[in-house]
Structure 1
């Protein structure tokens, strides 16, 4: 059973513009995101990281339940 994919094996990588946080700044950021400012911060972070774009994508084919290079033998 040989299935060849028609997908392009190259990835279109894009830089993600998200803050680098560590230590006290990370703790403060977590408190803000878990607190009342959540509704203001999360949409902005999702948009800048590309998650909003990913959620808007629609695909004609259902997800593949098996690996693309399925060998039909169990390990």
Structure 2
């Protein structure tokens, strides 16, 4: 039983490495059902950086409009 789960996880990891858009799509689906840790893990370091950048820019824009 453990062996099949490990094989399935390895196949999923290989697919994510080969297709960056699938990685982002997987992260979005995890976000609707999972935690922030799952989201960041699914996005990878580039996606996490972009997410942080969007949040920071959003806060700056919000502060500019409602000050």
TM superposition score normalised by structure 2: 0.36
Q: Which has the higher helix share?
A: 2
- By relative contact order (CA 8 Å, sep 6+), the higher-ranking structure is 1
Q: Which has the larger radius of gyration?
A: 1
